[in-house]
Structure 1
Amino acid sequence: MNYTYKVLKSDIELFAAALIQVRVYGVQLLGDDLIDIVDYGGVVEKITPESIKINGSYFLRKQFEFRVDVKGSTG
């Protein structure tokens, strides 16, 4: 089984994730394909044009990428 992720970019994707209460995690892009996983996930609690609230913490949309795990299979 191969585990991958989907980046949530649009408001509708973020709203859908909040509605179905899927675990979303915040990733800070550091450049040169380096990332820092800042929050290992939780339910989206609030969405504004500037930020996303996950597990009681706010993340600026300009500084973070929001991802959900997607299970896939190879074969």
Structure 2
Amino acid sequence: MYKILHTDTEFLTAALVGSRVYVVSSLDNNTVEIIDYGGPVERYTPESVKINGSYFFRNQFEFRVDVKKDSAGM
């Protein structure tokens, strides 16, 4: 199970707790391609997110964190 990060608050929370964020791109047929297997959020702006030294545009990719089924957190 995963959560998609959308808001600045969600990116801030992920950065503060050191969540491993991975980057995916949606393809046709409801499939996704993993672009980067992730790491902690190093920096974010309204336009981009920096993970593992690389910048990704927020409007082009999904940013996901794994969550436990019983977790009430992120």
TM over 0.5, shorter chain: yes
Residue segments in structure 2 that go unaligned for 5+ positions in a row: none
Q: Does 1:28 align with 2:25?
A: yes
Residue segments in structure 1 that go unaligned for 5+ positions in a row: none
Q: Percent identity?
A: 59
More helix by percentage: 2
Q: Does 1:69 align with 2:61?
A: no
Aligned partners of 1:15, 1:57: CA distance in 2, in Å? 17
Aligned partners of 2:53, 2:32: CA distance in 1, in Å? 22
Counterpart position of 1:9: 6
Paired residues, what number?
A: 70
Match of 1:52 among 49, 54, 59: 49
> Please, what TM-score do these two structures have when normalized by structure 1?
0.87
Aligned partners of 1:70, 1:26: CA distance in 2, in Å? 15
Which aligned segments of 4 or more residues in structure 1 are displaced greater than 3 angstroms?
none
> Please, what TM-score do these two structures have when normalized by structure 2?
0.89
Aligned to 1:41, the other structure's residue is in SS state strand
Between structure 1 and structure 2, the one with the greater Rg is 1
More strand by percentage: 1
